[in-house]
């Protein structure tokens, strides 16, 4: 289920950002003590951020309305600012299809809300799970480039393309 974040999700948000496994390809984890003082009482309350819940408990997050900045490499429109899909899941939820199901639902919502608008995704080529998810969701490779000290895969999704 996709939903807004609630106060009871705070511990799971902290776990997501403190997890070495989750942040292996995202620049590394943040210190738990820093997160305990920085994460608000109701974290992630903003448009385009969805909590992915299983039996009511948060297992991950999806962001979809963040716009890719023009200063960053990787764009499919000359004016930049494409919606970018982002996701993080707790390790215990990996390998069960939850990310694919939740991201597909978020993309379906996006296509209905912003018809014809492309969505981009960027992930390290070394992140096999994320590369596999991008393919399953129907993202098509546009380019590869070096950023954050690693090779990045950059793809685009269109609501006109069926899910894989």
Question: 73-79 contacts: CB < 8 A, separation 24 or more?
Answer: 73/145, 73/147, 73/152, 73/154, 74/120, 74/122, 74/142, 74/143, 74/145, 74/152, 74/154, 75/120, 76/118, 76/120, 76/142, 76/156, 77/118
Query: Which tens digits make up the pLDDT trace of 25-52?
Result: 888 889 999 999 999 999 988 888 999 9
Predicted model pTM:
0.90
| Helical residues (DSSP H) of 79-144, grouped into ranges | 98-113, 128-137
Q: What tens digit of pLDDT does each residue of 119-148 get?
A: 999 999 999 999 999 999 999 999 999 987
């Amino acid at each position: 289920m996709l939903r807004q974040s609630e106060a009871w999700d705070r511990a799971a948000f902290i776990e997501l950002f403190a997890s070495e496994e989750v942040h292996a390809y995202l620049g590394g984890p943040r210190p738990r003590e820093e997160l305990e003082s920085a994460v608000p009482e109701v974290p992630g309350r903003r448009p385009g951020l969805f909590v992915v819940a299983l039996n009511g408990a948060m297992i991950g997050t999806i962001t979809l309305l963040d716009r890719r900045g023009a200063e960053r490499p990787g764009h499919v429109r000359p004016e930049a600012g494409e919606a970018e899909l982002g996701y993080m899941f707790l390790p215990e939820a990996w390998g069960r299809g939850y990310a694919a199901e939740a991201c597909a639902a978020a993309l379906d919502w996006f296509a209905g809300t912003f018809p014809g608008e492309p969505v981009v995704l960027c992930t390290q080529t070394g992140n096999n799970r994320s590369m596999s998810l991008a393919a399953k969701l129907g993202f098509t490779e546009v380019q590869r480039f070096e950023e954050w000290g690693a090779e990045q895969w950059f793809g685009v999704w269109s609501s006109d393309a069926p899910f894989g």
